Amino acid sequence: MDLEILIPKHHLCRIVDLAVEKMDPALLASLYPGGGHPAYHPKMILKVILYAYANRIYSSRQIAKQLKENIYFMWLSGHQTPDFRTINRFRSERMKDIIYETFFSIVDPLRQERLVKLEDYFLDGTKIETNANKYTFVWRKSTEKYDQKLEEKFRKIVASIEQVVKEDEESEQEG
């Protein structure tokens, strides 16, 4: 079955797909310094993880389940179904050191394509205050303070995701 026809033109999964495809390929190539060929393409796993995070799905077991049950995940993965261990290893071992670079390399092309605006940020359903609009002057200190707040929010989200990853790893070792 061709899932392409079931995915709306402006659906979030298409935006994630576009953003990852526009990423600097050297960033993902750096994840495999020894060469070789991974069983699953890093772009595919990254797309699946980012789409899962956008839908507040952080558990690798839940992500693996979505790959079998959710058409958007199936489309992003090209019908591939890496297991939860593969997903967890990719994000906890391969992506650990470049998570911030990856985030910003994805946000920038989305901004350039005008798919996201950097005027408002919505993280976890919370609108973060901004001083940057056409009716106010943005002073350097307020911009720096805003950037610090944004980075702090992002780090909190990453910390909560890392906690879920840790729990997944512990349950993997037990089972």
Helices and strands in the chain, H and E counts: 8, 2
Query: Is 142's pLDDT higher than 80?
Result: no
Range of the domain at 101: 3-174
Give the count of domains, the chain. Answer: 1
pLDDT tens readout for residues 73-122: 999 999 999 999 999 888 888 887 777 677 766 766 666 666 665 554 44
Enumerate the H helices of 38-80 as residue ranges. Answer: 42-54, 60-69, 71-77
Closest CA to 150 of 118, 116, 174, 173: 118
Given a contact cutoff of 8 angstroms between Cβ atoms, the answer to whether 45 and 83 are in contact is no
Burial of 103 (0-12, 13-18, 19+ CB in 10 A): middle
Tokens 């350039």 sit on residue: 112
The model carries a pTM of: 0.70
The tens digit of pLDDT for each residue in 86-95 reads: 998 888 888 8
Mean pLDDT in residue range 124-143 = 52
